[in-house]
Amino acid sequence: MLRGSMTGLLAVWLCCRAESLPPAPEDSGNEVKLVHVIFRHGERTPADTYPKDPYVNFTFEPAGWGQLINVSPVNTLQG
């Protein structure tokens, strides 16, 4: 209970403090950018197979179906 009320007081204090700051100059040259970053986990073994696959009983030792393979960190870093 105390933690929630302290968080609320901090939020109110920050809002009041932000209103007292001077506005940024119009020609400051600053720019806000929206950036999306996508991280790949790396290469995986097949997650599923196709109908009548002759290798349906193949096991990907030691990882198994749909798991990351050990070579993936190296390939990911090399780009």
Q: Is residue 61 part of a domain?
A: yes
Nearest to 45 by CA among 28, 59, 57: 59
Parts of the chain with a pLDDT under 50: none
C-alpha to C-alpha distance for 68 and 57, rounded to whole angstroms? 19
In a domain, 72, yes or no: yes
The boundaries of the domain holding residue 48 are 40-79
Q: Is residue 24 part of a domain?
A: no
- For residue 72, what pLDDT is reported? 54
pLDDT at 75: 63
| pLDDT for res 78 | 64
Q: What confidence score (pLDDT) does residue 50 get?
A: 86
The pTM of this model reads 0.35
Say whether the peptide bond before residue 25 is cis (omega within 30 degrees of 0). Answer: no
Residue 56: inside a domain, yes or no?
A: yes
The verdict on residue 1 lying in a domain is no
Q: How far apart are CA 47 and CA 69, in angstroms?
A: 12
Number of H helices, E strands in the chain: 2, 0
Counting the structural domains of the chain, the total is 1
pLDDT at 34: 92
